[in-house]
């Protein structure tokens, strides 16, 4: 057993002494057993072929219960938009800096730490699929430290976004869960920001579940801005009923190792899913997106585009899968992945997969790997723009196409700005 897992065992023992909720204990035990069966991910597994967790393995990361007293909250002045803020430090809710004391009508927010055993049971039910996305999902089930459950009632349309702002004050591991339940015709925007400003090893192991009823609309934006030594593994599972619309905007901007497993199920006719994402890596960084969109009913559409910028000795993996089930006729699906390789040592492994079991479909995918357009670069420089600036400008333009698609103006502006920041700075 590696040091990471040894520490997990310690954490597990700690939790087993907590007698409050025996059903919860039982669930954790089962999840641990399931994790044992899956085993620690290794590069012999197809899904982990290009992504090694060997550096995480060596870290014994405890769960933090008390915040480091020397910690100063990061500035939140990026929140130019009104919204409901849920602030987290080291994976614990920080109510002091949150603004959820008064919730608008139609929205309900529960935290795992204060749920009743019944609620915990339902919460766990809603996360079953998310935790099956990878072995780390099972680990999350065994070691869950905190979670949030957002429920939006039928027809409720929240005008302001919900912000989930995560920061860390010390070296620690967090096993967190998010569930969003969208009732019929409800609308919501969620924006997550993950920071670990100090260069200390941290591991966020997150599972997320989105359940969208008919005609529900959910927009989700995630900015992942970890520092040196930050590990982030996230499984996101979403299920859409008829006419529901899901828009996902994951931005992997920085972090030592970031892995996303995203699975979207279009379960009923005319559900729609749009994914627009960016991954950006520089020296010794790794971003890995595994996405899977499953068309299970006729007349659904999906449109996915990821752009990658790879610099230094950075490495990225993109595995985009589209599956069209038998009888999911009239499916329309597009998948694109474009990569800029900026340095000699950067590396990209990409695989856009199609699995099609129906015939009346229109599916396409396109992938490119290339460099900055010489002509554009030359043009800018011939106009007197300094080389680095020109390069920066063009890279920003490349990824900005993705952030420009974010519907919420305030969040879009901030994301545009972050994309413009150098990946070593900010």
Partner 1 sequence: MNASHDTLDDLISQEYQHGFETAIEADAIPPGLSEETVRLISARKNEPEFLLQWRLEAYRRWLKMTPPSWASVHHPPIDYQDIVYYSAPKSQKDGPKSLDEVDPELLKTYEKLGIPLHERAILAGVAVDAVFDSVSVATTFKEKLAEVGIIFCSFSEAVQHHPEWIKQYLGTVVPVQDNFYAALNSAVFSDGSFVYIPPGVRCPMELSTYFRINAKNTGQFERTLIIADKGASVSYLEGCTAPMRDENQLHAAVVELVALEDANIKYSTVQNWYPGDKEGRGGIYNFVTKRGDCRGARAKISWTQVETGSAITWKYPSVILRGDDSVGEFYSVALTNHRQQADTGTKMIHIGKNTRSTIVSKGISAGFGHQAYRGLVRIARSARGARNHTQCDSLLLGDRCQAHTYPYIEVKNNSSTVEHEASTSRIGEDQLFFCRQRGLSAEDAVSMIVNGFCKEVFKELPMEFAVEAQKLLGVSLEGSVG
Residues that bind partner 1 (CB under 8 A): 46, 50, 310, 326-327, 329, 339, 341-344, 346-371
SS3 call for 219: strand
Contact 404, 416 (CB under 8 A): yes
| Cβ proximity to partner 1, 56 vs 341, nearer residue | 341
**Helices H, strands E: what count in the chain?**
9, 19
Q: What angle do CA 107, 174, 142 make, to 5 degrees?
A: 90
Phi, psi of 307 (to 5 degrees): -120, 140
- Between CA 397 and CA 154, with CA 79 as vertex, the angle to 5 degrees is 100
| CB nearer to partner 1: pick between 76 and 349 | 349
Quote the least distance from Cβ 147 to partner 1, whole Å: 35
The residue (of 249 and 306) whose beta carbon lies closer to partner 1 is 306
State both tokens at 374: 């010489």
**Measured distance CA(69)–CA(67) in Å, rounded:** 6
* Shortest Å distance, C-beta 312 to partner 1: 11
Beta carbon nearer to partner 1, 275 or 310:
310
Helices (H), 62-153: 117-126, 128-131, 135-143
Give whichever of 113 and 343 is closer to partner 1, judged by the CB atom. Answer: 343
Enter the DSSP assignment of 62. P
d(CA 140, CA 419): 30
Q: CB 65 → partner 1: shortest distance, Å? A: 43
Pick 227 or 269: Cβ nearer partner 1 = 269
Closest CA to 168 of 260, 278, 94: 94
Q: Which two tokens stand for residue 391?
A: 């390069």
CB of 364 to partner 1, least distance (A): 4
Question: Cα–chain-centroid distance for residue 329?
Answer: 30
Smallest separation (angstroms) from partner 1 to the CB of 353: 5
Compare residues 125 and 364 and give the one whose CB is closer to partner 1: 364
Least distance CB 80 / partner 1 (angstroms): 36
Residue 197 token pair: 């400003």
Nearest alpha-carbon partner for 229 in 208, 207, 204: 204
If DSSP codes are grouped into helix, strand and coil, which group holds residue 251? Answer: strand
**Which one, 24 or 294, has the nearer CB to partner 1?**
294
For partner 1, the closer of residues 343 and 389 by Cβ is 343
What's the CA gap between 339 and 359, in Å, rounded?
A: 31
- Count of Cβ atoms closer than 10 Å to residue 362 Cβ: 10
Taking the C-alpha atoms of residue 351 and residue 318, their distance in angstroms, rounded to an integer, is 6
Q: How near is the Cβ of 349 to partner 1 at its closest, in Å?
A: 5
In angstroms, give the least distance from the CB of 302 to partner 1: 13
**Residue 15 or 284 having the CB closest to partner 1:** 284
Neighbours of 282 (CB within 10 A): 18
Cβ of residue 318: shortest distance to partner 1, in angstroms?
9
**Considering the complex, what minimum distance in angstroms separates the CB of residue 259 from partner 1?**
18
Whose CA is closest to 406, among 414, 394, 397? 414
Residue for token pair 């589209």: 322
């Amino acid at each position: 057993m590696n040091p990471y897992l040894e520490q997990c065992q310690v954490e597990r023992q700690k939790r087993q002494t907590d007698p409050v909720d025996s059903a919860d204990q039982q669930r954790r035990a089962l999840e641990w057993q399931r994790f044992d069966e899956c085993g620690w991910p290794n590069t012999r597994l197809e899904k982990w072929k290009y992504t090694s967790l060997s550096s995480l393995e060596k870290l014994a990361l405890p769960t933090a219960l008390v915040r480091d007293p020397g910690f100063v909250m990061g500035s939140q002045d990026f929140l130019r938009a009104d919204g409901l803020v849920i602030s987290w430090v080291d994976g614990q809710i920080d109510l002091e800096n949150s603004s959820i004391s008064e919730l608008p009508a139609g929205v309900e927010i529960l935290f795992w730490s204060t749920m009743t055993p019944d609620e915990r049971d339902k919460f766990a039910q809603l996360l079953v699929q998310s935790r099956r996305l990878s072995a780390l999902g099972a680990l999350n089930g065994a070691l869950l430290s905190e979670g949030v459950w957002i429920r939006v009632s039928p027809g409720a349309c929240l005008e302001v976004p919900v912000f989930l702002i995560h920061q860390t004050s010390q070296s620690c591991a967090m096993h967190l869960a998010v569930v969003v339940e969208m009732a019929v015709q409800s609308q919501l925007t969620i924006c997550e920001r993950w920071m670990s400003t100090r260069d200390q090893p941290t591991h966020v192991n997150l599972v997320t579940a989105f359940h969208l009823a008919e005609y529900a609309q959910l927009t989700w934006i995630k900015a992942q801005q970890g520092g040196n030594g930050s590990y982030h593994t996230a499984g996101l599972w979403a299920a859409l009923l008829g006419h529901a619309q899901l828009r996902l905007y994951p931005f992997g901007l920085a972090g030592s190792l970031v892995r996303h497993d995203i699975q979207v199920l279009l379960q009923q006719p005319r559900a729609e899913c749009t994914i627009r994402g960016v991954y950006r890596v520089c020296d010794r960084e790794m971003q890995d997106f595994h996405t899977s969109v499953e068309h299970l009913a006729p007349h659904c559409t999906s449109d996915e585009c990821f752009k990658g910028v790879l610099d230094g000795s950075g490495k990225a993996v993109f595995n985009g899968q589209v599956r069209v089930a038998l009888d999911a006729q009239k499916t329309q699906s597009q998948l694109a992945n474009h990569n800029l390789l900026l340095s000699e040592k950067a590396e990209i492994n990409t695989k856009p997969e199609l699995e099609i079991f129906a015939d009346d479909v229109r599916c396409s995918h396109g992938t490119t790997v290339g460099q900055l357009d010489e002509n554009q670069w030359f043009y800018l420089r011939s106009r007197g723009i300094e080389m680095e600036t020109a390069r920066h400008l063009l890279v920003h333009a490349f990824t900005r196409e993705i952030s420009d698609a974010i519907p919420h103006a305030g969040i879009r502006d901030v994301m545009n700005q972050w994309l413009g920041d150098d990946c070593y700075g900010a």
